[in-house]
Structure 1
């Protein structure tokens, strides 16, 4: 999905965080947006198959959040370089991003 404006993106971000609809979760799973996939990985209602898929996302930001989701039934070992990266282990949403406290 290509976002034309910030309002549309923010609506999808909120939906990704909270939707129980598996079809919407599947759509967001394929999103090019790292922020949308990270929000989806944190969704407490996330389908376990989707959580397991996100566990192996190409972005460590997404896969680490999926590993913490209670609906994720698989495990993954993260190398120390990933876990030492404050951006990866940060629970804040990527948008709007405020890293002033992460120095």
Structure 2
């Protein structure tokens, strides 16, 4: 594990060793099952479109060759900006607030 961590920062291993470590980690992820990615988004947020494009690519394994389950939750706190996101739900905002509290983050945000 430590070797994989240092490989992320290009320390502690040679280039060929980093490739082997990365390949090994990818194979381990494939065996372990899909990775779950949750995106909190809103059509009223200017950067959410770009983030949704990236998560779509993740879901189609275009970025990494690991099975992913990508979930997008459209929050409702951007609706004050003269646009009501038709996919919004206050339940998704509550879900995001629970993450903020449990991880002791400073604020809610979308991408």
TM range (shorter): under 0.3
Q: Which has the higher helix share?
A: 1
For the pair shown, the structure with the greater C-alpha radius of gyration is 2
The higher-RCO structure (CA 8 Å, 6+ apart) is 2
Normalising to structure 1: TM-score of the pair? 0.25
